[in-house]
Amino acid sequence: QLKMLKKNAEEGLKENPPYIKNVSAMLRSAFAIAVEKAFPKTGVAKLVQVGPSSHPRFGDYQCNAAMAINKALQNSSLNPRSIADRIVANFPIDPFGLVDKFEVAGPGFINIYMGKEFVVEEIRSYMINGVKPRPVKPLRVMVDFSSPNVAKEMHVGHLRSTIIGEVISRLIEYQGHHLLRINHIGDWGTQFGMLIAYLKEKYTDGFPDRMEVHELQESYKESKKRFDSDEDFKKRAYQAVVKLQNKEKEHYDAWKWICNTSRLEFEKIYKRLGVTILERGESFYQDYMVKIVKFLESGNFLEEDEGRKVMFPKAKGLIPLTIVKSDGGFTYDTSDMAAIKQRVEDENLDWIVYVTDGGQATHFQVIFDCAERAGILDRTKVRVQHVCFGVVLGEDKKKFKTRSGDTVRLRELLDEGVKRARDKLLEKGRDKEMTEEELLQAQESLAYGCIKYSDLAHNRNHEYLFSFDKMLDDKGNTAVYLLYAYTRIKSIARKADVSEEQLRDYAKSSAFEISHEKELKLSKTLLKFPEVLDRILEDLYIHPLCELMYDICTSFTEFYDSCYCIEVDKPTGLKTVNMNRLVLCEATAVLLKQCFDLLGIRPVSKM
């Protein structure tokens, strides 16, 4: 961004490019230039950091590099304050009027006050161009998420992976990258031989047309019992595995039937949550697994260990991967090694993201390490990231289970959410102002919105307490609060009888200005979006986006409480509309809508 800024400055351009600008990053680059000019060839420019101020009396942003630079330079004729002065004096040309003024404070803090013109131009751009991200070189990215297991109930862990993975996918697509969303379902392995052998015994006249996933899971448990206690059954199960691996019709069809039964259930959940994902499960890698074993063997990477073939990572103290089991079968490790090779070499990916619970952190650490060791992965070229998350707890602070200790069925959980959301709307008497159609829409938006948001608003690494009561609370940082705020903002323009078109035209005109302190505060909060976005794309922690949405809504409330947008003259009933403020309402709505879209939450106009 700075290069462009410099180029524009050199050419005397003051054109505002049609995308959103990361104020923190622009300031950081400008300060790095200033420091390089003030202290050439000392290498201290890399010490520059700029962040939002902790309090408005310290400006909008702060650069606290002077202290660190002073330490690094060890020049007795300087002190942090004089260093700060020199940095400020060398600040490059600022064609956008990004900075209104600097203030050197305390031991050498540089407080930065943003220029109002810059803020006006940005809001104008939000209105004219929408919230368009800065163009980047498109990368080839894969997000491996959701990934439930066939013949098992999809559990709350998979729900978290689905919710978080979907948002990460949306963010990456929004940034303009090429994205593959992959559902790495557990659909392969010796357990399927077991299950097929069992089902063939149970349904001698062919499998039923329909079966619920929980019934399949029961069969799965039964088959495991048989496998462990009955030698004959065990033999048959092994034979079934071999037949399946050779794709012999009867067994292959049985396996397809099992996968299909599960898939129908998964798809229902995805549809309800608005998730799109391409199924490419472990079975996809069967041939690749055969190949990876040969590849690792020929590279001498495998060691014998009690009949197993294992691979040790370079890092000490980590457990090795089991590449081949003592019975010759493959494992979860084998499939992930095969998958990473296929992804790096065939898919040509620049960036791979895996979304699973924190329990698998070591697994991925070892996979990445072994892939590097085997020369499959070069982490300076391909970015691999394991995005993990904490366990889901119930209201009793214990692992989320039903009263009887079973896994909670996702479908039932979603149903309950919808019911609770409906109750909430009825409790507020909203049914009196809505058609049944609108009510149905609102209850789903609310239910899924709440379930997603309460997950996303927390630091994903932490344990997460699942509570419908908390998520349906309309106070605090909840989806309910935000969705209501959004509908309220939208209704302001409606009440004023001003169309979006008119607002946009007004924003384009020179009449548009920002004057009231609360207008400015709201605007500056909106302008934080690009820096929050850029940061998320680095570390893939999503909660800062939720915090920003909450800040936007609270700033909006402050603004709305002290700034009239529409004034009605009581005796005549005449309306005076403040267009500047309506533009701000609309800009807020536009940005909030973008945030909701990124989070996969569907706001409705009536709620």
Binding site for ligand ARG (CB under 6 A): 144, 147-149, 184, 186, 336, 339, 354, 356
Q: How many Å separate Cα 301 from the centre of its chain?
A: 36
Q: State phi, psi for 478 to the nearest 5 degrees.
A: -125, 165
Measured from the CB of residue 340, what is the shortest distance to ligand ARG in angstroms?
A: 8
Cβ proximity to ligand ARG: between 184 and 452 the closer is: 184
Q: Between 233 and 354, name the residue whose CB sits nearer to ligand ARG.
A: 354
CA atoms within 13 A on the CB side of 16: 21
Q: Which amino acid is at 534?
A: D
**Pairing relation of β-strands 321-324 and 308-311?**
antiparallel
CA dist., res. 492 & res. 508, Å (int): 20
Closest separation between CB of residue 266 and ligand ARG, Å? Answer: 12
Smallest distance from the beta carbon of 271 to ligand ARG, in angstroms?
Answer: 20
Length of the chain: 607
CB of 405 to ligand ARG, least distance (A): 20
Kind of pairing, strands 109-114 and 140-144? unpaired
Residue in this structure with the two tokens 């990215």, named with its chain if needed: 141
Q: Which is nearer to ligand ARG, 365 or 554 (CB)?
A: 365
Q: Least separation, in Å, of the C-beta of 387 and ligand ARG?
A: 11
The torsion of the CA quartet 253, 256, 260, 261, rounded to 10 degrees, works out to 70
Nearer to ligand ARG, 166 or 531 (CB): 166
Q: How buried is residue 30: exposed, middle or buried, by Cβ count under 10 Å (0-12/13-18/19+)?
A: buried
Q: Provide the minimum distance between the beta carbon of 329 and ligand ARG in the complex, in angstroms, as a whole number.
A: 17
* Residue whose structure tokens are 């099992």: 258
In terms of CB distance, is 30 or 154 closer to ligand ARG? Answer: 154
**Closest approach of Cβ 361 to ligand ARG, in Å?**
12
For ligand ARG, the closer of residues 144 and 455 by Cβ is 144
Instruction: Name which of 144 and 265 has its Cβ closer to ligand ARG.
Output: 144
Residue indicated by tokens 């065990």: 234
DSSP conformation class of 565:
S
Chain mean position to CA 556:
25
Backbone φ and ψ for 365, nearest 5 degrees, come out as -60, -45
Distance CA 577, CA 405 (A): 59
Q: At what angle do helices 579-599 and 529-539 cross, to 10 degrees?
A: 10
Q: Which is nearer to ligand ARG, 29 or 331 (CB)?
A: 331
Give the Å distances, CA to CA, from 529 to 24, 97, 465, 489.
11, 19, 27, 18
Residue 370 corresponds to which tokens in the numbers above? 């072994």
Residues sharing a CB contact under 8 Å with residue 76, sequence separation 6 or more, in sequence order: none
Q: How far is the CB of 354 from ligand ARG (least distance, A)?
A: 5
Nearest distance from C-beta of residue 186 to ligand ARG, angstroms: 4
- Nearer CB in complex with ligand ARG: 98/182: 182
CB nearer to ligand ARG: pick between 184 and 226: 184
C-alpha dihedral sign at 168, 174, 180, 183: positive
Smallest gap from Cβ 355 to ligand ARG, in A, equals 8
Question: Least distance in Å: CB of 356 to ligand ARG?
Answer: 5
Phi, psi at residue 292, to the nearest 5°? Answer: -65, -35
**CB nearest ligand ARG: which residue?**
147
Q: Which is nearer to ligand ARG, 147 or 331 (CB)?
A: 147
